[in-house]
A and B are shown apart, each in its own frame.
Chain A
Amino acid sequence: MDALLTPDEIEALLLSLRISFVAVFGALPFAFAAALLLARTRFFGKTLVDGLIHMPLVLPPVAVGFLLLVLFGTRHGLGAWLLATFGLRFVFSWTGAALASAIITFPFQVRAIRLSLEAIDPGLTAAAQTLGAGPWDRLLNITLPLAFPGIAAGIITAFAASLGEFGAIITFVSNIPGETRTLPLAIYTALQAPGGEQEAARLSLMSIVLALLFMTLAEFVQRRTRR
């Protein structure tokens, strides 16, 4: 590994993995709740909520990053309050990168989970009800396991998409080595420096390997759960 990648490059790789991991699993409970809301309930303004959730898919990531900067900037508003109350700072920190990634990849998770929730026969939950299972019991023992293929697909897609996030991260938390410089940002940085093509090529190759890995994993999970 040392021969292939420099310590800086390894740092960027590990940072990318950590940020994506936190982004995806941090967002998962919310994504599941949102999918459940969209798949199982009817309420006034549902179309609007659906649109808001899917907004990051169509919005330029740079715009998302800018909105986050406005919202979480520590000078005023929510950002200032979070810093004063909890000592929590998102701007220019890796947690901010995870937040940006989570928002950008949220629709991928919601979509996949919603599809699998809608595929569950509502008769099964009714049957569980007559067998004495209350709402939480049914959610935990019927809905959750049956939605598992969708949850797994959502996690994998979101993780892969998160590894490639660039615009929202660089706008919101900047390009700080060891803090917010993920793989795509490292590639971009390398290309800015004279003679950095080789480093960019190595990092790109790394990205390709990761992408292949995830696609294989997705295929594997899908095949296993389709039995």
Chain B
Amino acid sequence: MSVEVSLRHTFQGLGPGFALDITFALPGAGVTALFGASGAGKTTIVNAIAGTFRPREGCIAIAGRTVLDTAAGIFVPAAARRTGYVFQDARLFPHMSVENNIRFGWRRAAAKADAHEIAHIVALLGLEHLLARRPQALSGGEKSRVALARALLSSPQILLLDEPLAALDAQRRGEILPYLERLRDEAKLPMLYVSHTLDEVARLADDIVVIKDGCVARQGSVFDVLTGLELAALAGSPPMGAVIAATVAAHRDDGLTALAFDGGTLLVSRLREPVGTTLRVRVRAEEIMLALEEPRGISANNILSGRVSAVGGDGAQADVQLLCGNTRFVARITQASAARLALSPGKPIYIIVKSVTVAAPASG
């Protein structure tokens, strides 16, 4: 484990204080999402890792180096922690050009990236034509990309991203996501991605830590957690549905592309990616119909067979967790349907997938 975090802190304020009691670990590479509602304490946790916030009690180690240990009296100042922090509001230095902004951390880094690596990161984030500009002359999306480059070039041992897309509109967000995906697939460093948007988490993260009321409520791989029935209650939203790692198996003559996954094959509209590419696809809970017998004479292209692994939900809604091979799906149907089909764990079932969302190429 490359980053270990354990902290406790109580914020005194009006009314009852807000208590934070968090323990989690990040693997040595890949994206871990820190997910939770606004005000759950996500930013405080990130600030504690970066060293701009000092918790009352805790222990933090980054790549084997203890940067905080309140019991032993260790507190490494933020400037010496080697964390790359991308803030929600970019925080570019207004009195410097883009180039000087991205070189700010680089100049102070212990291990400096060479000219080749700098050029690579600049190209990766599409900043070549922006270098001479002032931050004031950049769009929101461009600012985020500059902030990313600046953090990366400080040669950090962990990249902390505190809702880097929150300040952007939907269109700009769509512009940045591919850059973040590229970064995830290329950079060999752990990333902690703070978000309260499950969409982003499903697209980017490998692992997820769900924070609720100052505690870790759930922790695991996105494939498991996002199909978990508890998430609905935790996130106060319908379950996200399945996040599936798939490989392009064939481009068929009928205009469809076959994607192989652990449990079967999904057919989607023709993709540009070559055979063998790994992709991340999503099947929303609302896009699944269930049948006890194999349906015939139906327009859906994707009919999978699996079994029910759990049934949950409340009110009129039922959330059904399904297992197809080793891949988990989740379906949201009505309680009435669930009762009619007499769904219970272990029951064989046909899964009719109405639509599949293909995210950009993924390592997942």
Interface residues of A (CB under 8 A from B): 121, 123-124, 126-134, 137, 142, 145-146
Contacts and interface: CB of A to CB of B under 8 A. Distances in A.
A145 B96 CA distance: 10
A137 B52 contact: no
Contacts of A121: 91
A132 B87 contact: no
A142 B105 CA distance: 13
A133 B93 CA distance: 13
Chain B CB within 10 A, most for which of A121, A124, A129, A133: A129
A125 B24 CA distance: 28
17 contacts: A123-B91, A126-B52, A127-B85, A127-B91, A127-B93, A129-B51, A129-B78, A129-B79, A130-B51, A130-B52, A130-B84, A131-B79, A131-B154, A133-B79, A133-B104, A134-B77, A142-B93
Interface of B: 50-52, 77-85, 87, 89, 91, 93-95, 104-105, 108-109, 150-151, 154
Given A123-B89, A124-B91, A142-B93, A131 B80 contact: no
B163 to A, nearest CB: 14
Nearest to A146: B95
B52 A132 contact: no
A188 B56 CA distance: 65
Given A124-B93, A134-B77, A146-B95, 8 more contacts: A123-B87, A123-B91, A127-B93, A131-B108, A132-B109, A133-B108, A134-B79, A137-B108
A121 B150 CA distance: 18
Contacts of A131: 79, 104-105, 108, 150-151, 154
Nearest to A138: B79
Nearest to A127: B91
Chain A to chain B: the 5 pairs with minimum beta-carbon distance, closest first: A132-B108, A131-B105, A130-B85, A127-B91, A129-B78
The listed residue with most B CB atoms (<10 A of its CB), out of A121, A127, A134, A137, is: A127
Contacts of A134: 77, 79
Contacts of A133: 79, 104, 108
A189 to B, nearest CB: 47
Contact of A128 (B77, B84, B104, B151): B104
Contacts of B151: 130-131
A116 to B, nearest CB: 12
A134 B105 CA distance: 12
A145 B95 contact: yes
B23 to A, nearest CB: 23
- Name, among B79, B80, B83, B108, the residue most crowded by chain A CB atoms within 10 Å (CB to CB): B79
B160 to A, nearest CB: 8
A132 B80 contact: yes
A171 B270 CA distance: 92
A133 B94 CA distance: 17
A141 B328 CA distance: 52
Contacts of B104: 128, 131, 133
A147 to B, nearest CB: 10
Contacts of B150: 131
A145 B77 CA distance: 23
B95 A130 contact: no
A146 B94 contact: yes
Contacts of B83: 130
Contacts of B89: 123
A129 B104 CA distance: 11
A145 B104 CA distance: 15
A127 B78 CA distance: 10
Contacts of B77: 129, 134
A127 B87 contact: yes
Contacts of B78: 126, 129-130
B50 A130 contact: yes
A126 B88 CA distance: 13
Contacts of B94: 124, 146
A219 B82 CA distance: 43
Contacts of B81: 130
A146 B81 CA distance: 25
Contacts of A142: 93
Contact of B105 (A124, A132, A145): A132
Contacts of A126: 52, 78, 91
Contacts of A130: 50-52, 78-79, 81, 83-85, 151, 154
Contacts of A128: 93, 104
A121 B81 CA distance: 22
A127 B51 CA distance: 11
B121 to A, nearest CB: 15
A131 B95 CA distance: 16
A145 B94 CA distance: 10
A134 B50 CA distance: 14
Question: Which among B80, B85, B91 has the highest number of chain A CB atoms within 10 Å?
Answer: B91
Nearest to A129: B78
Contacts of B109: 132
Contacts of B82: 132
Contacts of B95: 145-146
